[in-house]
Structure 1
Amino acid sequence: MSAPLDPSENTALRLTLDLVQRGTEFFGRELQGLTDDDLDGNSLLPGWTRRQVVAHVVSNAGALGRLAYWADTGIETVMYASLEARTAEIEAGGILRPDALRGAWADSADDLERRWHSLPDDRWSVPVRNGQGAMVPLRETTWMRTRELWIHAVDLDHGAGFSMLPEEVLERLLGDIVGDWAARGDTSRMLTATDSTHDGYGDPDAAEHVTGSLADLAGWATGRVQSGVVSDTGETPAAPRWL
């Protein structure tokens, strides 16, 4: 049995669960604003339609629900049995009728919320395996869901932008991305937000310094947009792969 969360962990969890709730509402509003025909249009993700983005977010809720089941019961239940299974699940969702896809979105979000809110406090410390194969405490899956909701709402490409994301999401997102780059041995750039008091993201002695607003840096670092940021090299290169 895992130990209950300490006060700081519990506070962080509650704050992230609030971001999930707000992100769910944000994504839902963006989806509601799309007509059925709009769902067949292109998203910001190359090669993906909007309906495929929605299907992916639906699938993600189910996958995180399986991790919650693992933490609650002790029965190892991975997000997806294989990469092929993940792809098949998203493809199956992507061909649903518009009303069925919208219903699947609502049901999946509600089901994940119920699973999380029914968990005893000590289950949030149980280690589970994330999509990259690393063992992390279950509470980390709430941040995984936060990222999915806010970023993919922008990916629906129906008016939402990174400037609409909460500052705490943008800051943590940039920290994650720069940390992932560093884990792969890439420490060649420092990101500095012109509208934040944060010291910056990355190595201050890096060869390249990229500046822009928090929103523009997040959009660039996630590979969604190329404008709004400036590099001291004189050019703004494409951001390295993130996930």
Structure 2
Amino acid sequence: MAARQDLATDPGLQEDLLQARRGTAFFARKLNELTDAELDGGTLLPDWTRRHVVAHVGYNARAIARLVEWAATGVETPMYPSPEARNHEINFGATLSPIALRNLFDHSAVCLSVEWRDLPDENWSHQVRTAQGRTVPASETVWMRTREVWVHAVDLDNGATFTGIPAPVLERLLKDITGAWKTRGTDTGLLIKVTNSAGNGTGLMFGDTTAADPTTITGPLPAIVEWATGRGSSIRATGPDTNGSAPAAPKWI
């Protein structure tokens, strides 16, 4: 029997789906490299063990699948009943046995992929609502998942780095982050310049481009995104009171 293919025919959407599935495979590889005992270890996220990260990524797939189901049926199916329910779910998942936790990730990823596969072209524009209350087309669920799996693979803290994330994902993530800063007004006086491996500018610039004397953050794309997501700082800064050290990035989620 021939394998079933995605019903989506838009080339851009097909490429986005591929990137999301590659990210899922990347997370799966980093998870499979961990022994059961190592699941108890710490991560790049405060107060979260690897168990919490895996549980979050697994339940996130189920939550996004609910949005895709909403787009398919027209019946409202929120990601979570409430923020409290989401947090309780993650904390419960972190207590599962190693095999159950691994199965949660595997099965939820497959279920989400199937929901995407079976969504017809005309349904991808149907509006759904995220856990943050944003109304977005169903196509946005692909990026929502892409961001989760690539970044949280790094959060597992067992060898994955931002240099392993594809440049298109990093660029879109940085646009999301700096866009959130701009909306909140927390980017005032902050300018971000992306360099290439030779230290030259790439043309990518974000933040407050009108400031007379900005705090300028400079570095290659992976390092800039690492800093912007609050996961590290291997970049340099110039400007008022920096002394070469980059300040903590503004909150983005």
Q: Which residue of 2 aligns with 1:232?
A: 238
Q: Which residue of 2 aligns with 1:90?
A: 90
Q: Which of 216, 230, 245 does residue 209 from structure 1 map onto?
A: 216
* Cα distance, 1:198–1:143 mapped onto 2, change above 3 Å: farther
Q: Which residue of 1 aligns with 2:122?
A: 122
Partner-residue secondary structure (3-state), 2:154:
helix
Q: Distance in 2 between matches of 1:142 and 1:53?
A: 19
Q: Which residue of 1 aligns with 2:73?
A: 73
Structure 1 residue runs of 4+, over 3 Å off? none
Q: Distance in 1 between matches of 2:54 and 2:204?
A: 35
Q: Percent of aligned positions with the same letter in both sequences?
A: 49
Q: Unpaired segments of 5 or more residues in structure 1?
A: none
Cα deviation per residue 1:132-162 (whole Å; 9 max; x = unaligned)? Answer: 1010001011001000000000000000000
Q: Which residue of 1 aligns with 2:39?
A: 39
Please list, as runs of the form range in 1=range in 2, the aligned pairs for 1:168-179 lying within 5 A after superposition: 168-179=168-179
Please list, as runs of the form range in 1=range in 2, the aligned pairs for 1:22-171 lying within 5 A after superposition: 22-171=22-171
How big is the shift at 1:171?
A: 0.6
What is the Cα-based RMSD across aligned positions, in Å?
1.3
Q: Distance in 1 between matches of 2:91 and 2:187?
A: 36
Partner-residue secondary structure (3-state), 1:58:
helix
The answer (yes or no) to whether the contact 2:187–2:250 under 8 Å persists in 1 is: no
Q: Distance in 2 between matches of 1:199 and 1:55?
A: 35
Q: Distance in 1 between matches of 2:204 and 2:104?
A: 42
Q: Which residue of 1 aligns with 2:195?
A: 194
Partner-residue secondary structure (3-state), 1:45:
coil
How big is the shift at 1:14?
A: 1.4
Partner-residue secondary structure (3-state), 1:199:
strand
Q: Distance in 1 between matches of 2:102 and 2:204?
A: 41
Partner-residue secondary structure (3-state), 2:124:
helix
Counterpart residue identity of residue 219, structure 2:
G
How big is the shift at 1:204?
A: 2.2
Counterpart residue identity of residue 213, structure 1:
P
Q: Unpaired segments of 5 or more residues in structure 2?
A: 1-7
Q: Distance in 1 between matches of 2:136 and 2:56?
A: 22
Cα deviation per residue 1:51-103 (whole Å; 9 max; x = unaligned)? Answer: 10000000100000100111111111100000111011111211110011111
TM-score (norm 1): 0.93
Rg (Cα) greater in structure: 2
Counterpart residue identity of residue 216, structure 2:
H
Please list, as runs of the form range in 1=range in 2, the aligned pairs for 1:12-27 lying within 5 A after superposition: 12-27=12-27
Counterpart residue identity of residue 203, structure 2:
H
Partner-residue secondary structure (3-state), 2:203:
coil
Q: Distance in 2 between matches of 1:31 and 1:187?
A: 35
